[in-house]
Chains A and B, each alone.
Chain A
Amino acid sequence: MIWNKDIECMGRDAMRALQSERLIKLVQQVYANVAFYRRRMDEMGVKPSDIQSIDDIVKLPFTYKTDLRDNYPFNLFAVPMKDIVRVHASSGTTGKPTTVGYTKNDIENWREVLARCLTMAGISNEDVMQISYGYGLFTGGLGVHYGAENVGCAVIPISGGNTRRQLQLMSDFGSTVLACTPSYALHLADALAEYGYSLADMKLKIGVFGAEPWTENMRLELEKKWGIKAYDIYGLSEIMGPGVANDCEAHTGLHVHEDHFYPEIVHPDSKLPLADGTEGELVFTTLTKEGIPLLRYNTRDLSTLTRDTCECGRTLVRMKKITGRSDDMLIIRGVNLFPSQIEHVLLEMGETSAHYMLYVDNVNNLDTLELQVEMDETKLTDTIRELQDLSKKISHALNSAIGLSVKVTLVEPKTIARSEGKAVRVVDRRKK
C-alpha cells in the first residue's frame, strides 16, 4: 500500500518542479520574516531572486544546531506566536534547549508524512498501535501519535518506560504494532519471559523503530526475537520529528519525503555538495515548514543518497540507514547528548575537577551512563557519607540538565588519561 501515490511515485522532473516552486517560496518567506537568514544571505550576497530552481539551493547558507541555540527560544520562528499551535524542545548543550514551533499546516504535513511512513511499513486502520516513545516535549510520542491516528490505527499512547505495563497492555489489548526506540524494543523482547509472557500471548506483527542509529543486524535480530517485520523511521526535531524518512519492505534505504524535506549530502570538511552514492553529512531544507523553516540544516548524520526507483515502486530519494555522525554527539535511549553538556554541568558546580570520562554501556539492552570524575583534593572529607552526597549531587545536576540518569564515580586526581590534542571524553562500549 502507498499512502500518497501521486507524490511517492512522482516522476523525477515533476518532483524537481514541485521542489523548485516550494524552495523559491520558502526563501522569500524566510528572507522576509527571519532576521537571522536575512543577515546570513545579505552577508553572502544572495538575494531571494537568485533562487530560481532547486539547483540554486547550493547558494544558500547552512544552518547548524548552534544557530538554533543562539536564537533560543523563538527567534528563528517565521510566523507570529498566534500562528504557532505547538512547541517541542530537546535538551541543549549549555542548559538551553533547542526549540521548534509548528503551525496548523505544519502539524497537518507532519500527519501526512507519518501516514506515508506507517503505510510504507504495512500499517493500516486494522492495526492496534502501541506508542512507547516518550510523550511530551520530545517529538517522538506525539509525532507518531498524530500519524497513526491519520492512518486510522487504534492508538495506545502508553509512552515510554514501565516494562511490566508495556507487556501487559500489549498482551491484553492485542497490539499489532510497536513504536519505540530499537533498544527499548530489544529490552521488551528480553523481558517477556521474566514477566511470564511468551510470543504466543502477543499479536505483534510490525515494529516502527527509530530515534537512535541502529544497524541492519539489529533490525534482523528484532525481527527474529519478536517474530515481526521491523522498519526504521528517521527524523529529528529540528526538521519535523519522526517521519522525515522511513524504509519500505525492500529495506534498501529510507525513503525521504523530499517534497517536504529536501536532502543533500555535503563533505564533512569542505561542506561542498557530494554526488549520489558518496557518503557525507546529511543536510535538509524544510520546503514547506512555516513555524521554523530551516535552510540547509546540517544534521551531522552520515549517509548517502540514491535516486533510482525502488522495487516497492516509490520514486522518493532514499537515504542509507544512519550508522554514524561527524561530531561527538551520542544518542542515549533516544536522547541526544554532547560530552560538552557534562563538562558544562561539572564546571558550573565547581565541586570536582573538570577531568572526566564518560562510559556508555548497554545492560539488558538499555543504554547506561557512568561518569568517572576526578576528585578535587580540597573537597575530600573524612566521611564516606559526604563523598556519596557529592556523587549524588552531581548525578542530580546531570539528570536535570540532560534528562538521563548517570552513575557518578569519584576517582583520584590525575588518574584519567590526559590525551594530547583532541581530548577523549567518551568510551562507548555498546556493541555496534
Chain B
Amino acid sequence: MTIRQLSVFLENKTGHLNQILSVLAKNNINIIALTVADSSDYGILRAIVSDPEKALEALRSEQFTVRVHDILSLEMDAAPGSMSHILDLFTAADICIEYVYAFSFGSKSILIIRTDNCDKAVEVIKANGLKSIREAELR
C-alpha cells in the first residue's frame, strides 16, 4: 500500500536542485516522479526513484539532508472523475490531505497521497477496495 519516497531538504540557491539530480544521474538512478514543495526560504524535493536505498546513500555521501518516508500510493482509472472519487472518500472519513501528486507510469495513472492520519487512510483504502501500487510494479 505504501512505497518509499525520498525527501531532500533544498535551500533556495541557484543550481541546488540540479546538484541533487546530477548525483542521481551519476549513480544511474531513474526518477519516476518528482515534485518540489517550496516556502520562501527552502523547499523539499520529493521523489519516487528506481532505487531509493542507493539514492539515499549517494545523496548522503554528498552531504545532502535526505530521508526516506513511506507514502501511500494508489492506482487510478485513467478516466475523468477518478481522483475526485478517491478524495471524496477521504473527505467523508474526515481525513485531511497534506499533499498529493500524480503521475503516469506506462499505462497506469498513479496517485501519491500524504494525509494527516495514515491508519485511517489505510482503512478507507481497504474498505473501498481501492487499488494500491507496490514498488515492484514501478520497475
Contact = CB atoms under 8 A, between A and B. Distances in A.
Interface of A: 375, 377-378, 380-385, 387-388, 409-415
Given A412-B11, A415-B11, A383 B99 contact: yes
Interface string B110-122: 0000100000000
Given A385-B98, A412-B64, A413-B65, A380 B7 contact: yes
B42 interface: yes
B46 A380 contact: no
Interface string B36-71: 011101111010000000000000000111110101
Contacts of B73: none
A410 B41 contact: yes
A383 B113 CA distance: 12
21 contacts: A377-B67, A380-B44, A380-B65, A381-B7, A381-B44, A382-B7, A382-B44, A382-B71, A383-B37, A383-B98, A383-B114, A384-B37, A384-B43, A384-B44, A387-B42, A387-B44, A409-B42, A410-B42, A412-B63, A412-B64, A415-B11
Nearest to A414: B63
Contacts of B42: 387, 409-411
Which 6 A-B residue pairings sit nearest by Cβ, starting from the closest?
Answer: A382-B7, A380-B67, A382-B69, A384-B37, A377-B65, A409-B41
Nearest to A386: B98
Given A382-B5, A382-B99, A415-B11, 10 more contacts: A380-B67, A382-B44, A382-B114, A384-B37, A384-B44, A387-B42, A410-B41, A412-B11, A412-B63, A412-B64
Interface residues of B, number: 22
B9 interface: yes
B65 A375 contact: yes
A384 B37 CA distance: 7
Interface string B3-23: 001010101000000000000
Contacts of A409: 41-42
Given A411-B11, A412-B9, A415-B11, A380 B39 contact: no
B99 to A, nearest CB: 6
B44 A375 contact: no
Contacts of A410: 9, 41-42
Contacts of B64: 412
A375 B44 CA distance: 13
Nearest to B7: A382
A413 B44 CA distance: 14
A416 B44 CA distance: 19
A377 B44 CA distance: 13
Contacts of A383: 37, 44, 98-99, 114
Contacts of B98: 383, 385
B48 to A, nearest CB: 12
Contacts of A413: 63, 65
Nearest to B10: A412
A377 B59 CA distance: 12
Nearest to A380: B67
Most-contacted residue by chain A among B42, B43, B66 (CB, 10 A): B42
Contacts of B99: 382-383
Contacts of A385: 98
A153 B9 CA distance: 58
Contacts of B44: 380-384, 387
Nearest to A383: B98
B11 to A, nearest CB: 6
Contacts of B67: 377-378, 380-382
A380 B10 CA distance: 11
Contact of A384 (B5, B39, B63, B65): B39
Contacts of B9: 375, 380, 387, 410, 412
A62 B12 CA distance: 49
Nearest to A410: B42
Nearest to B5: A382
Contacts of A378: 67
A380 B66 contact: yes
Nearest to A415: B11
Contacts of A387: 9, 39, 42, 44
A378 B69 CA distance: 12
Contacts of A412: 9, 11, 63-65
